[in-house]
Structure formats: C-alpha cells, structure tokens
Chains A and B, each alone.
Chain A
C-alpha cells in the first residue's frame, strides 16, 4: 500500500494534478480568500463607524498591495511578450538564412550527374520483383524499400487524425442539446436507401479488391481503405447511425483501429530489425502474381486499409453527430 505523503499538497505533482483538473492553485486561492475576508471585515466595521481612520488605513494598504501584485504580474507578462517576439523574429530569420544558404548549394536542375539520378531507381525497377515479390513495384517500394519513410508518414497521419478528433470532441453539452439544422433534414429517404442497398456491397467489394490486390495491381491500403470508408459513410447517411451502431460502434472502431496500427507497426518493425542486422527474415515471398505472395506486404496493406477506413468513418461521425 502506498501512502499519501504528508506534504503532498506542496509537491510538484499535486500542483500538476490540480492544473489538469482545472482547479486553481493553492496560493492564488488563499490570496483571494484572504483579501475577501479582510474586505468583509472592513465592511462590518463600516457599519459601526467607529474607527474610520483604521479602516481607511487598511483599505489603502490593501489596495496598494493589490496594485503591487498586479503590477508585478503585468510586468512579467510584458517581459515575456517582448522576449517572445524577439525570439520569434530571430528564429524566423535564422531559418530563412539557413534555407537560403542551402538553396545556393543545390545542384543545377536537370543535370544528369545530380544525386537524384543514381542507381537506386534502376535497382528498384530491375530487382524489385525479385527482392520484394510484388508485381506492382510502387507498393514494393513504399512498403519494403522505403518502409521507414512510409511508417513515419503514417504516424504523421495518425497524429493529425488524433488531434482533429480531440478538437472535434471538445463540444460542450449545451451545444449538443441545441437544435441544429440536422433535426430538420429529411430522414429515411426511401430512394436513397434503395440505392445504398445496391451500391454499398459493390463499393465494399471493390475496396476489398483494391486492398487485397495492392501488391499485384495499382492500389493498396490507403486507396482501398478510403473506398470502404466511403461505403460506410453512404450506409450511415442513408439509414442513420442507429443501424450502423449495431455492428460498427465506437468500441469496435477503437479495437479495430488500435489493433491494426499495432500489427502494422510490429510487422514493419520486423522488417526493419532483420534488414538492419542483416538477418534472413524467413518469410516466404511466394510466386509473384499469386494472391498470397510478397511476404508481409499483403498483410500490411490490410492493416493500413482497416486504419484508413476507420479514420474516415470516425471523421464523418464526429462531424455529423459530434461523437462516436
């Protein structure tokens, strides 16, 4: 059992916790209480009208103290703002200078000896099929040769999606209850529902086809996931969220999203680990052109597709009803 420290109130952690919980720090609260108490005291004395001099003294003292406090805080804020501005301008000019110097060192455009025209592209085209087992060399490039870069990109996308979700979830309860245009829009449109019933399976099939054939034909996880997300959005728009929530609610989305991301990162990390240490990775590449070929790229495409589809549907749900 852990015990709360005696001086817990004054530790850094308790102050952080109070800040996170939205409470005011101890010191300012004390200060406010004190000043109010003394003010009321003064008022009570005012009724008796006994020692006016003392009261006036006190009041003066108090207002003077408050002024000093305010002045100090203001001065601190002003100093901070001045330093902030100077630093911002300084940083901007530094970055500008560094970039301009770098630009002047760049090789001329279109020169055949430029570092961009090296053996890398040749290697991709000549040995891509043999080494990665993908007929579609672009997929083999972005998920195998340049997997590290793709993983960074995916992380950027994921962080952006997370921050947008946080911003959209920050809606107060009052705004949610307020009548919006949503309540007036036509619901249960029979024509749209029939069309959705015809189109949604086709869209799902096509999206799954694009994801599964990412290593054989143009496509892959990102585009196929976007298609499946669009199909889900169409279904939710036609039949309302009550129907989609039966299968595809926030809980399922959370599980699918997090497991897809973890599996994606771990399977790519396996590639990184074996590649960086020069170990055989023991994943059979299969015959190029088959569905189950090209090692982990097939599965990575599926994970990425799941992730993208869930993100698209989440955004639609957030904009439409302000929550999952």
Chain B
C-alpha cells in the first residue's frame, strides 16, 4: 500500500514538473505575447495542481492537505485571473500586433 501511494505521488509530481518545464519552454520559445501568456498559464494552473495533488497523496488526508488545497484554490483563482487581466490589457494596448497575429472579437 505504501509503495502504491509513493509511486502515485511520484508520478503526479513528475508530471507537474514536466508541465512546468513545458511552460518555461513555451514562454521563451514563442514570439507573440498572448501565446506566451497561454504557456505561462499552463505553469500557473496545471503544473501547480499536479504538484500539490502529488503532495496530498504523499501525506495522506490531514489538516496539512486541507491547507494545501486552500493554497491551491487561492493560487488558481488569483494567478489565472491575473493572467486574464494582463492579456486583456495587452489586447487593449497593442492592437496592431494582436490583429496581425490572431482574430480578436471587439
């Protein structure tokens, strides 16, 4: 049982790290701002969720895991919304670049 739990936690955390690496790769690789914001948001949401899920599986269900879930909730709300606001600001300010690269509904 302990083995199974450890393997599951390790897989989750490793998946989270891979997602984070993909996010960093995307941030440096893409040229257009909104694409970069998108890949940064992967790191903010999916990678973070996977790592915290792995930690919860490793520790078992206790007060600590409840606190971790709370942290996850706050970060999911805050960082994804901040990404949204930043992207919207970018669409507002840099109209030329945005219209050249993608279709935006006004």
Contact = CB atoms under 8 A, between A and B. Distances in A.
Interface of A: 181, 184-186, 189, 191-192, 195, 198-199, 202
A202 B81 contact: no
14 contacts: A181-B93, A184-B92, A185-B89, A185-B92, A186-B88, A186-B89, A186-B92, A191-B85, A192-B85, A195-B77, A195-B78, A199-B74, A199-B78, A202-B74
B92 A192 contact: no
A189 B81 CA distance: 10
Contact of B81 (A184, A185, A195): A195
B84 interface: yes
Interface string B60-86: 000000000000001001100100110
Tell me whether chain A's interface is mostly helix, strand or loop, or mixed: helix
Nearest to B76: A195
Interface string B10-53: 00000000000000000000000000000000000000000000
Contacts of B93: 181, 184
B89 A191 contact: no
Nearest to B92: A186
Contacts of B85: 189, 191-192
Query: In the complex, which range does the number of interface residues on chain B fall in?
Result: 10 to 19
A101 to B, nearest CB: 53
Given A199-B74, A202-B74, A192 B81 contact: yes
Interface of B: 74, 77-78, 81, 84-85, 88-89, 92-93
Which 9 residue pairs are nearest across A and B when measured between Cβ atoms? A195-B81, A195-B77, A186-B88, A191-B84, A186-B92, A192-B85, A192-B81, A198-B77, A199-B77
Q: Among the interface residues B74, B81, B85, B93, which one has the most CB atoms of the partner chain A within 10 A?
A: B81
A324 B81 CA distance: 27
A171 to B, nearest CB: 23
B78 to A, nearest CB: 6
A195 B92 CA distance: 21
B31 to A, nearest CB: 24
Nearest to B91: A186
Contacts of A199: 74, 77-78
B92 A189 contact: no
Contacts of A192: 81, 84-85
A63 B86 CA distance: 64
Contacts of A184: 92-93
Contacts of B92: 184-186
B88 A189 contact: yes
Contacts of A195: 77-78, 81
Contacts of B78: 195, 199
A230 to B, nearest CB: 11
A189 B88 CA distance: 9
A247 B93 CA distance: 32
Nearest to B84: A191
A199 B88 CA distance: 20
